[in-house]
Structures are given as structure tokens and as C-alpha cells.
Chain A
């Protein structure tokens, strides 16, 4: 398996505490990698389902698609406002 590398930062106090308590950081990182694997798999499956629908001539209901996009954009805008205020 070819391996890539990314850098993750961790609060120094938390790192010191984990080390002093003998927490297995490698195992914790492996759990993180498992979550990444699951997230990538789910997103790939969603993309596949969308592509299958379109490749098979599926047609979207414009009104329903617009409504879904509006709900998601509205929520993102509201969260952005809270982030700025916070």
C-alpha cells in the first residue's frame, strides 16, 4: 500500500497529558483513519448513486431540487452568521 502523509496539530497540554497517562496515541490515530475511510466511502457511494441516476436518464424535479438546495444554502448561511458573531 502506498502511503501519503498529512500533519495534524494537537493541543500541547492534551498531548502532554495523553503521554503522561500512557494513552496509546497511535491507536487513537488509527480510529481517526477509520473514520476518514468511512467518510470517503460514504461520499463515493453518494456520488455513484447520483451518477447512476443521471447516466440512466433520470430527470430531476426542478422545484424539489431547488427546494433542497435552498434549505441547505439557508442553513449554511445561518451557521456562517453564527460563526462570525461567535
Chain B
């Protein structure tokens, strides 16, 4: 089953009926690295929509191996960019790279440039696609 990994902006799209329907049809395993919640969760009542969206996803905690991989990706990309990609973005791509060992992976994000730069450094980059929702 191909996986679709969502960053914080893509999580907002999962709140829309059109994206929910399209993702259901496409048959993706929806994955949210839990580090994304550090960007998106506010602890306010307005998080209701976020919690609803999250229930339709599988959340993957950040383990030590992925943290190391994210750091390495970020370090490789930093010299090629005006500013280094965020640690959260690097973790998302590290998780995508890990999943891509056995499945195709689509990363949905509004920050395509940073994610593309990170993807090109991933070991399984050819099994990862980055798209803007």
C-alpha cells in the first residue's frame, strides 16, 4: 500500500471533504510524523478539526534512527540553500525515506522547494514524490 505523508499544511487539507474523498479513493496509507504536531497543535479548542483529521491517519513517533537521519539530511542540504530546511521538515523526509524502503511514498506539503531539496538527498529518493496539495 503506498503511503501519503502529511506535513502540517497538508493536515489542514485533510480537513476538507474533497481531499478526504480523493485520498480515500487513491488508497493511501495516511501517515503523520508526530513531530508535525509540534508545528500545528495549539492546545486551543480550535484544534478540533486537527484532531478529526488525525483520527484518519497513522501517527509515527520520532525514534532515534529517524532523528539521526533527519540531521544528516539537513546537513547535506544546508550548503545548497539560503537557509537550512527546518528540523521538522527534515524529520518528515527522513520518515518518508524509511517508509520508501518498501513502498512508494507521496509527501504532501506546501513547502515543495525545501522538501524537494531534502528528497534528493534521501537514499530512496526515487520512491518519493513531493507535491503541493
Contacts and interface: CB of A to CB of B under 8 A. Distances in A.
Interface of A: 35, 38-39, 42-43, 45-47, 49-50, 53, 58, 60-61, 64-65, 67-69, 71-76, 78-79, 82-83, 85-86
B104 A69 contact: no
Q: Which 6 A-B pairs have the closest CB atoms?
A: A68-B22, A46-B56, A75-B129, A64-B18, A65-B18, A79-B104
B58 A35 contact: yes
9 contacts: A46-B56, A49-B56, A64-B18, A69-B22, A69-B26, A72-B22, A76-B26, A76-B104, A83-B104
- Scoring B17, B26, B104, B108 by chain A CB atoms within 10 A of each residue's CB, the highest score goes to B17
A73 B25 CA distance: 11
A78 B129 contact: yes
A74 B18 CA distance: 17
Interface string B16-30: 111111111110111
Contact of A74 (B17, B52, B131): B131
A13 to B, nearest CB: 16
A85 B125 CA distance: 13
Given A46-B23, A60-B17, 20 more contacts: A39-B29, A43-B29, A46-B30, A49-B52, A49-B56, A50-B21, A50-B24, A65-B18, A65-B22, A67-B18, A68-B23, A68-B133, A71-B22, A71-B132, A75-B106, A75-B129, A76-B104, A76-B106, A79-B106, A83-B127
Interface in B1-55: 1-2, 13, 16-26, 28-30, 52, 55
Chain A contact surface mostly:
helix
A72 B25 CA distance: 10
A67 B29 CA distance: 20
A71 B110 CA distance: 13
A53 B129 CA distance: 29
Nearest to A70: B22
